[in-house]
Structure 1
Amino acid sequence: MSDHKANEQNSLNILDDLVRKARAKGADAADAVRVQGTSTSVAYRLGEIEEIERSEAHDLGLRVLIGKQQAFVSSNDTDAGVLDALVDRALDMARNMPEDAYCGLADPELLAREFPELDLYDPSTQSAEELTETAKQAEEAALAVSGVTNSEGASASFGHSSIALATSDGFTGSYSSSSHSVGISVIAGEGTGMERDYDYDSKRHLEELRNAADVGRTAGERTVKNINPRKMPSAKVPVIFSNRVSSSIVGHLAGAVSGASVARGTSFLKDHMDKQVFKPEISIIDDPHRRRGAASKPFDGEGVKNSRIDLIEDGVLKNWILNSATAKQLGLQSNGRASRGTSSPPGSSTTNLYMEAGSLSHDDLIKDIKSGLYITSLIGFGVNGVTGDYSRGASGFWIENGEILFPVSELTVAGNLKDMFLNLTPANDLEFKFGTNAPTLRIDGMMVAGT
């Protein structure tokens, strides 16, 4: 048995024993989760190591239920005596908690019994010296770009983690994952004319990580293009969200279809199930089983079987993001989107969320725009989840007659997400980089406030 598999099995043995003790001492139900991780990272700037950090985390959480009362306790100590006391403390707390009509373990019929192989774990490790060399290569490549005048620093890291879950309904499951990353931020220009930009990459497997020099060179080229930005007058124009920032639009949808928001009545889409929310050709998918995906998992935070769901199908809203509690509130069934920490009740979240690519190329999306904004950076979080009102600071480039011409900054883009969704057109340049991804997006009729 490999080391990481042996570690997973050890965690499951600890959790299973903990759950049995809770039941024996009076809990009607219980579940326990253990999260472990190790990571090493290096920060490097102007030819010098700024920081080398090594971390190890071993956290365990127990939830006990007595009727409709529940409590959570956590510890990073797996000594038998400590765990016995943990059980006693959890039960004492539960007996003094107010009732929660929606708390409870997942429906046993929904629990995962088979786990897909998602290839999330790469046993490769990187020494501090190797990480330093990676960061060095990124910075040197960025500083070599003509016009780059300073570095804000490069970084490189790798980590291994594992998650194990056991419930009193008989579920036990675990999985391990890995991550490798490199990033760099640099400055171009002088004095008050300085501009900054960055590039970054992260992958489950080291072999898929972009070359560090390529990351650095891209960061430098992006930064130089931002020099001498212009201020623009206010106008209502088409706006292009580059695929560096377009995932934020999909993220706003995720917040609006969260089961918790819908159950509380605080989502601007709460009454839109089975209604047209986007254009008919648009689909938005959440898929926890993407091989080597940034947010893949073989089961959810309650042990429920998870699978691909269409949040938006042909423009129509088809699903909420549900765990067991929010599903009960809405009179529905969990769709395997529970997320979990060690010291709080299960939440709900997306996994590998993405908007499918459209049919138009990046250039075709832009070519008929007489005047418009191409966004490469967004600032602030001015989104009202109740009304859908949207207002964020932006910078990027100005489009004239179908061409991206010159950098612009200090702009605000505003609209309402309901209108933005319905007026959105995706390009065909979808790339899977992070947990939430989208192609370049065009949204017509947005207000751009400038000077």
Structure 2
Amino acid sequence: MTPSTDPGFSHTLDQLRDIVERTLADARARGATACDVEVSEGCGQNVSVRLGEVETIEYNRDKGVGVTVYIGQRKGHASTSDFSPAALEQTVGAALAIARYTAEDEAAGLADPDRLATEFPDLDLYHPWDLPVEAAIELALRCEAAARGVDARIANSEGATVSNQAGQSVYGNSHGFIGPSRSSRQSLSCAVIAQDGEAMQRDYWYGTARAAEDLGDAAAIGRRAGERALARLGARRLKTGEYPVLFDPAMAAGLIGHYVSAASGGALYRKASFLLDALGSQVFSPLVEIVEDPFLPRGLASSVFDAEGVACERRELVSGGVLNGWFLGSYSARKLGLATTGNAGGCHNLLVTPTAGDFADMLRRLGTGLLVTELLGQGVNGVTGDYSRGAAGFWVENGVIVHPVEEITIAGNLREMFRAIAAIGSDVETRGSKRVGSILLEKMTVAGA
């Protein structure tokens, strides 16, 4: 095998491209009226420590080829992890056999050729980390030691983990599209347990980024984990009632995630969304502005094209609280009689515009109410929007955190919750695809003691 130009990969991008082109040609020659192929390769290292000792050292290396063929409106898919010519031929044959016995689907097919990407700007997504295992161990140990050193009440640890991952892929289809991509993702996390008498509380913190220099300091991540666990000691329940609720940035990103799920093509064409027929209507508070920007440099959800090769584009999804767009791939778009939005494979970076100041300002705006820092369970009905989840966090009075809270349930309906957004903080969460600060809701039902 030809050596890779990158020591982490077994193949070059040119070799992956050659596999795509040969497989597409084979599928067409054997009767496929249309086809697409994706070849991918990934590698990485994970190092975990616990209580000052190395616990695990793991290396991962994987590769795969996915082949989708169409015979008219019949679709077949097969995959393999073997890149040999014989295995690729067998995979094409398996996909064709499936297609011949599959019912016709009028929405099946490749993305329209005029929607495919033609420009490929560098979004700065690939930053391989030359991290020897000894250095990874030292980094994890430093992170955990900082967490355990916060206070003598940090009684135990679930450990710290350093992960270093890189991947590359080439997607191509019979419209002539060929799209290469390379990306990396690094992360550092720590979880510890605080104890005071019989009471114990667990919490964690982490950093994740395309490039190692964007992760943050290992000791700072560890200290944050220790401080969060310590702050939860002495938690108590609240009296049942209706209160203003402030979702911290990580929990606020989950709220935006519920909007994405309800506005996605699969839920819409199955009529399993509380946002059916909501396009062009007031869904959120007039304060809310949401932009999808696939082109953020080093963004964790940045991409030039989606999973079908469709060109991504920057969109204003919510303006003044009004819903302007869905998240559609070609299949769901056809089922709905619409056009793809370049979201096959999911949403890209969602930027929720802040309307207020930092976290301290958001606490002042909350006044007296509940700060939510953890949510439990899956109590969200995507069809009706009904929302009921276990929660933990802090009780706030006059803008000051008074005590931690646990064993409560918060409830509402997402339609009403979205319209009740009173402020969005500038304390923006950047560790995922939803970039949003803390979100203040005017009120929710809180069930406690």
TM-score normalised by L of structure 1: 0.95
Map of 2:327 onto structure 1? 321
Map of 1:362 onto structure 2? 359
Structure 1 residue 359: Cα displacement: 2.9
Report Cα offsets for 1:197-230 as digits up to 9, x if no partner: 1100011011111111010011111111111111
Structure 1 residue 436: Cα displacement: 2.0
Q: Which has the larger displacement, 154-163 or 424-433?
A: 424-433
Structure 1 residue 298: Cα displacement: 1.6
Of the candidates 94, 100, 103, which is equivalent to residue 98 of structure 1?
A: 103
Distance 1:370 1:300, change over 3 A: closer
Q: Which has the larger displacement, 135-144 or 371-380?
A: 371-380
5+ residue gaps, structure 2, are none
- Matched residues in 2 for 1:259 and 1:392: separation? 25
Report Cα offsets for 1:410-436 as digits up to 9, x if no partner: 011000000000011211222422122
- Matched residues in 1 for 2:418 and 2:265: separation? 20
Amino acid at match of 1:116: P
Report Cα offsets for 1:304-355 as digits up to 9, x if no partner: 100112221221100110100111111111111112xxxxxxxxx1121232
Structure 1 residue 6: Cα displacement: 6.8
- Matched residues in 2 for 1:361 and 1:140: separation? 29
SS of 1:72's equivalent? strand
Map of 1:342 onto structure 2? none
Of the candidates 154, 160, 181, which is equivalent to residue 154 of structure 1?
A: 160
Of the candidates 382, 395, 409, which is equivalent to residue 392 of structure 2?
A: 395
Q: Is the 8 A contact 2:74 2:100 kept in 1?
A: yes
- Matched residues in 2 for 1:19 and 1:264: separation? 32
Map of 2:125 onto structure 1? 120
The 5-angstrom pairing of residues 243-392 of structure 1 reads 243-339=249-345, 349-392=346-389
For the aligned residue pairs, the C-alpha RMSD in angstroms reads 1.5
SS of 2:250's equivalent? coil
Q: Is the 8 A contact 2:293 2:348 kept in 1?
A: yes
Q: Is the 8 A contact 2:250 2:429 kept in 1?
A: no
SS of 1:189's equivalent? strand
- Matched residues in 2 for 1:307 and 1:369: separation? 36
Map of 2:428 onto structure 1? 430
Of the candidates 406, 425, 440, which is equivalent to residue 438 of structure 2?
A: 440
The 5-angstrom pairing of residues 400-411 of structure 1 reads 400-411=397-408
Q: Is the 8 A contact 1:246 1:437 kept in 2?
A: no
Say whether residues 1:164 and 2:166 are aligned partners.
no
Say whether residues 1:412 and 2:409 are aligned partners.
yes
SS of 1:88's equivalent? helix
Map of 2:179 onto structure 1? 173
SS of 2:327's equivalent? coil
Of the candidates 245, 253, 259, which is equivalent to residue 239 of structure 1?
A: 245
Report Cα offsets for 1:223-271 as digits up to 9, x if no partner: 1111111111101000000113210000000001001111111100011
Structure 1 residue 283: Cα displacement: 1.0
5+ residue gaps, structure 1, are 340-348
Distance 1:32 1:281, change over 3 A: same
Amino acid at match of 2:391: A
Map of 1:7 onto structure 2? 12
Report Cα offsets for 1:164-192 as digits up to 9, x if no partner: 10101100011101111100000111464
Structure 1 residue 285: Cα displacement: 2.0
Amino acid at match of 2:202: R
Amino acid at match of 1:124: W
Amino acid at match of 1:350: C
| Percent of matched pairs sharing the same residue | 40
Map of 1:134 onto structure 2? 139
SS of 2:249's equivalent? coil
- Matched residues in 1 for 2:222 and 2:348: separation? 29
- Matched residues in 1 for 2:399 and 2:287: separation? 24
Report Cα offsets for 1:118-175 as digits up to 9, x if no partner: 0000133212211111110000000101121111111001011012101011000111
- Matched residues in 2 for 1:420 and 1:284: separation? 16
SS of 2:98's equivalent? helix
Q: Is the 8 A contact 1:250 1:354 kept in 2?
A: no
Amino acid at match of 2:64: D
- Matched residues in 2 for 1:5 and 1:320: separation? 39
Map of 1:20 onto structure 2? 25
Map of 1:39 onto structure 2? 44
Structure 1 residue 370: Cα displacement: 5.0
Say whether residues 1:111 and 2:116 are aligned partners.
yes
Amino acid at match of 1:244: A
- Matched residues in 1 for 2:280 and 2:136: separation? 49
Map of 1:345 onto structure 2? none
- Matched residues in 2 for 1:103 and 1:47: separation? 54
Q: Which has the larger displacement, 251-260 or 272-281?
A: 272-281
Say whether residues 1:202 and 2:208 are aligned partners.
yes
